[in-house]
Structure 1
Amino acid sequence: MDHRIDRRSLLRLAGIGTLGLTFPSLLSACGAGPSGSGVSNAGKDLAPWPTHVPFPGPAPDAPGDDSGVQPLFLRYPDQVVRSVHDPVGDGSDVTVVVVSYGAPPKPVGDNRYWQAVNAALGVNLKVVVVPDPEYGQKMATLMASGGDLPDMIMFTNLALPHAAEFVQARCADLSEFVGGDAVKEFPNLANLPTYAWKGMGRIGGKLHGIPLERPMPANSLFVNRTAMDAADIPKDWTTEQYLDAMKQLTGDRKWGVGWFKTLFGGLGGITYHAGSLGAPNTWSEGGGAFTSTLTTPQFEQALEVMRKLVEAGTHYPDSLTVSSTDMQSHFHNGTVASMNDGFGSVGLATLKKINGRFALDLGRPYGPQATPWQGPGVFGYVTFKKAESARIKLLLRIVDYLSAPFGTEEYELANYGVEGEHFTKDADGITTTGLYGQENNSLLPTKYLGTAPAVLHLPGYPDVAKSVHEWQKASLPRSVRNPATGLRSTTEASKGAQLNQIIGDGIAAITFGRKPPSAWKDVVAQWRQAGGDRVADELAAEHAANR
């Protein structure tokens, strides 16, 4: 099955952050239709955010901080501890629906990873894996059906019309189980940072899901540091130095810039340029009003930079048609020297695909007053079918186990599998086996049912981990959050695709010279008239209600 689809590119437009320039948040993108006041938080009694009780864990080689810099671990802990001491399941079947970005998993009878997870959880996980290209349609069908639901449904950041209404009507309200101090019954869920719960947001004032935490950086510029060092390109650069660097890296059927097309016709990377030039992260809030980044001079400057890259011929020539998967391959093999992607792609999978051809690094923002954009802190969330309290608690124990933090036995099983079969350990840490390539938490996506707060640990690649940590320290203190994260807009939910189409088409037309830069004001005017101004008003009302 071909998994090259532009929906995935849409997710990468702002990495694991906002879905696009008009999508204010995870749940607002799934919000209500014309009668959606029931899912609005305005005027509702708000469930308290879960109390944050951090897991002490092993000491990192370099600490994280409140700006989003992750704790750095250059070595795997010598000893891991248990975080779950009581039985999880009751031997019953647990049905789940979850997205997948890879091949289908091996059947449970032939899958030692799946068997080990079932044994640890004390349940029989019956996993329906939905390939990413089919996810939107499959979820629409599931939500439209009146039949019995699976025990767990995983929602990604992809906009699904009326999903919040569906979740409110047919999925369990978890507020009494995880709101405030109640979450302490599930210590690994209490360890999830507050920003992840806020990134997920409430529905009708209630907590209806468990967030899948992601690091704070959003869309990031992945760079071939080896090629850049060979061309004497500095890590800290000005706008002109960035443009010159992309020219230097272009030639002999290689290109400095690797863009790919998004679902709505725009180009992945606009968020990096907008943040480099100081544009607000999707929205700015002041005096109770919301203003779109699209209306700012900094955003127009970002379009000008992208247009200059095209005029100089530094971009991969098929940028408007190439898939995200193919562009990743072009970056991995050195065809393009830089590519914008979600920060979550910093990992072993990417490093193994690069296979030592070059040193991976992240490019720093180039503007003197940069405001790098943060993501919402979540990749998605998990909901439960309505059930008796005992059943809900069982499902919460499953998610709690799979959310166990780095440095625990549970994390080791969930992320690496069974020692001696899927991985080995020595003084240098974890080494995965060939079997791990066939059985892991990507092919059987248990990581989309529960996930630990991310740390920066890249087994076998300590130099890359150090480089990424230095990038975080240089970039994140200046980064800005989208003030609409966790909020909801009825208009955006019903017209989000139309609004994004207007903006995506406008970005592509101006970047590639089909329209002059002056046409951007007409694009923004069309967006505002089509519903952008109403989105801003609705976000302002939600923001006031959520204070």
Structure 2
Amino acid sequence: MMMKLSTRIKRKPLQATACVSAAAVLLAACGGGAPAANSGGAAAGGSGKPLEIQMTVRLFDQVPDMNNAYWKEYQKRTNTKLNVEWIPDGDYTTKLNLILASGNIPEVLVANNLKSPALVNAIKNGAFWDLTPLLGDFSKYPNLKNNSAPGAWETSRILGKIYGIPQNVAQVSNGPKIRKDWLTKLGLPMPKTVDEFRDALKKIVAADLSGGGKHDTLGIIAKTDLLSTSTGGFSSAFGADKPTYNEEGGLIYNKLTPQFTDTVNYFRQLYADGSLAQEFSVMKSTQAQELFQTGKAAAYLNESMRWDYPFTQSVKKVQPDAEVETIMLQGPGGYTISRGTGVVDIMLISKKVPEEKVKQILDYMEKTTTKEYYDLTVYGVEGIHYNKVDGKIQLTEQRDKDLGSSAPWQVLALYYDKYMKTVSWAAPQEYNDAKINYLDSIGYFEKGTLDPFSVINSDTFLNVWPKVQQEWQSMGVKAIVGQISMDEYKAYVDKLNSNPDFKKAYKEFADSYKEFFGK
């Protein structure tokens, strides 16, 4: 069996043009088809013995077989031998903290939270190489410089220095998903504002369109916790990402701003309407995805746009008219678009690694941060994972078996493309073209706001926030479900903001913001 893959996507110029494709993670293909021919067997560190690299990385699906056709070819082309410890994403933070505490650090370690106190302390204690002087002006590393996300090397700095190689990802790709076919069935227009969205959800839930006849149609469900993550973009719509200062000139942490309190109140209204799933605070990501894919919910948050088409096809199995679409909603302070830095993780190199080998690892990263290797991680090997028919790529079933969903992306920095998570490999070309044209026409990529706290620093905050984070999250959930009033929640937030340690942290945030962004 073979799967047809579209190979051409219309687009406007990018900061770094790239091929929008990744079959296993449901991205789109583009740009002329097959991966480039092998440019030579030279290793990152030379043409002789393969460079062995010990890595600990995140895993989002099954552990790959490093002896299959894809991984053999990848290591042959790079002249490497990768000894990879694959840690499931759900367990990764715990595992990372254990590694950092033990000091038994692999040669290359992926970090998924640049603000982690454990990571920052390990860096302060000299656990990792400061790569700043080795990279220098990047004259030896043009691919790492030019093929990374815009600003990646600045936003991924820790303590003002480069300790990790950024792993690139699309800067914006999310927004609330809604069942467009259910809107059509009720004669409702596509909502454009957060208020229209709320009204539409109430009507969908009341109409019980899931088809069970048990009045069990859910409104909003989310892949991850609503409060501690991106809130599905709603906090951005309420303006929580916009710098907010206290009377002393300190920059208030965005989750403790009045705008974020307004976001909590909005979810409280949705919950009171019956439009926010009662189990939202404890629902696991796998459970939420399954509920949405089986047609039980009207809206889904915290998942990229690339899933629109695959989700549609999944729901069609039980509801043939299903149509899933990511929407952009306007709120009082912006849009439901959270802009990321374009860096999903960083890859740190243990200080135990000799300097000469550090340079070889950097050479490996430089070699693989190209379109050629991006395509290889997506399509695999011609004749095994794909074939070309009439100039177009057709993927084989072996492609998914060997490459999985995203494992090839975890061992390199990855070539950057801003469209990489907004279109789907499984969709017809016309669908992807229409998606990109629509997003460009509404200024989607320009309207997202960056959370400044993803890049600015405060040593004081790193110490005080972990002590109250769970309590704050619990208070937020209580406010949403009505166990406490909004006045009680506001009083709790005011108490935190008036704490001297928080005020000190806010002054540090203000200084860091000025240093990073200017006035």
Q: Tell me the TM-score normalized by structure 1.
A: 0.77
Distance in 1 (CA, whole Å) between partners of 2:148 and 2:263 is 35
> What is the aligned partner in structure 2 of residue 365 from structure 1?
329
Structure 1 segments unaligned to the other structure (5+ residues): 1-57
> What is the aligned partner in structure 1 of residue 54 from structure 2?
95
Matching residue's letter, 2:11: A
348, 351, 358: which one aligns with 1:392? 358
Distance in 2 (CA, whole Å) between partners of 1:353 and 1:311 is 30
Quote the offset at 1:282 in angstroms.
Answer: 6.7
Structure 2 segments unaligned to the other structure (5+ residues): 1-6, 22-27, 209-214
> Aligned runs of 1:325-344 on 2, under 5 Å?
325-343=286-304
- Return 466-475 or 346-355, whichever deviates more: 346-355
148, 173, 185: which one aligns with 1:230? 185
> What is the aligned partner in structure 1 of residue 270 from structure 2?
309
Q: Is the 8 A contact 1:266 1:503 kept in 2?
A: no
Quote the offset at 1:505 in angstroms.
Answer: 1.6
Give secondary structure in 2 for the equivalent of 1:97.
strand
Structure 1 pair 117–347 and aligned structure 2 pair: CA distance change class (3 A): farther
- Residues 474-523 of structure 1: CA deviation (Å, up to 9, x unaligned): 33433222233322211222233334323322221111111112122212
130, 141, 150: which one aligns with 2:98? 141
Q: Is the 8 A contact 2:223 2:303 kept in 1?
A: no
Distance in 2 (CA, whole Å) between partners of 1:460 and 1:260 is 21
Matching residue's letter, 1:399: M
Give secondary structure in 1 for the equivalent of 2:251.
strand
Structure 1 pair 162–369 and aligned structure 2 pair: CA distance change class (3 A): closer
Distance in 1 (CA, whole Å) between partners of 2:253 and 2:111 is 26
- Return 220-229 or 242-251, whichever deviates more: 220-229
Distance in 2 (CA, whole Å) between partners of 1:540 and 1:471 is 34
Distance in 2 (CA, whole Å) between partners of 1:459 and 1:78 is 12
- Residues 266-305 of structure 1: CA deviation (Å, up to 9, x unaligned): 476635222223x131744799741344455443332232
> What is the aligned partner in structure 1 of residue 123 from structure 2?
167
Quote the offset at 1:202 in angstroms.
Answer: 3.4
Distance in 1 (CA, whole Å) between partners of 2:229 and 2:103 is 37
Distance in 1 (CA, whole Å) between partners of 2:333 and 2:38 is 43
Give secondary structure in 2 for the equivalent of 1:439.
helix
Q: Is the 8 A contact 2:149 2:343 kept in 1?
A: no
Matching residue's letter, 1:326: Q
Q: Is the 8 A contact 2:64 2:402 kept in 1?
A: yes
Q: Is the 8 A contact 1:172 1:384 kept in 2?
A: yes
> What is the aligned partner in structure 1 of residue 449 from structure 2?
480
Matching residue's letter, 1:172: W
Structure 1 pair 503–545 and aligned structure 2 pair: CA distance change class (3 A): same
> What is the aligned partner in structure 2 of residue 424 from structure 1?
387
User: Is 1:403 the equivalent of 2:369?
Assistant: yes
> Aligned runs of 1:187-226 on 2, under 5 Å?
187-203=143-159, 205-217=160-172, 220-226=175-181
Distance in 2 (CA, whole Å) between partners of 1:298 and 1:466 is 34
RMSD: 3.5
455, 467, 480: which one aligns with 2:435? 467
Q: Is the 8 A contact 1:399 1:450 kept in 2?
A: yes
493, 508, 528: which one aligns with 2:477? 508
> What is the aligned partner in structure 2 of residue 276 from structure 1?
237
Give secondary structure in 1 for the equivalent of 2:198.
helix
Identity of aligned residues (%): 17
Structure 1 pair 473–150 and aligned structure 2 pair: CA distance change class (3 A): farther
Distance in 2 (CA, whole Å) between partners of 1:436 and 1:536 is 49
Quote the offset at 1:365 in angstroms.
Answer: 1.5
Distance in 1 (CA, whole Å) between partners of 2:230 and 2:354 is 46
User: Is 1:63 the equivalent of 2:6?
Assistant: no
Give secondary structure in 2 for the equivalent of 1:207.
coil
Distance in 2 (CA, whole Å) between partners of 1:309 and 1:288 is 34
Equivalent pairs counted in the alignment come to: 478
Distance in 1 (CA, whole Å) between partners of 2:201 and 2:231 is 16
> What is the aligned partner in structure 1 of residue 403 from structure 2?
440
Q: Tell me the TM-score normalized by structure 2.
A: 0.81
Give secondary structure in 1 for the equivalent of 2:295.
coil
Distance in 1 (CA, whole Å) between partners of 2:312 and 2:156 is 30
User: Is 1:381 the equivalent of 2:346?
Assistant: yes
Matching residue's letter, 1:396: L
> What is the aligned partner in structure 2 of residue 449 from structure 1?
412
Matching residue's letter, 1:502: E
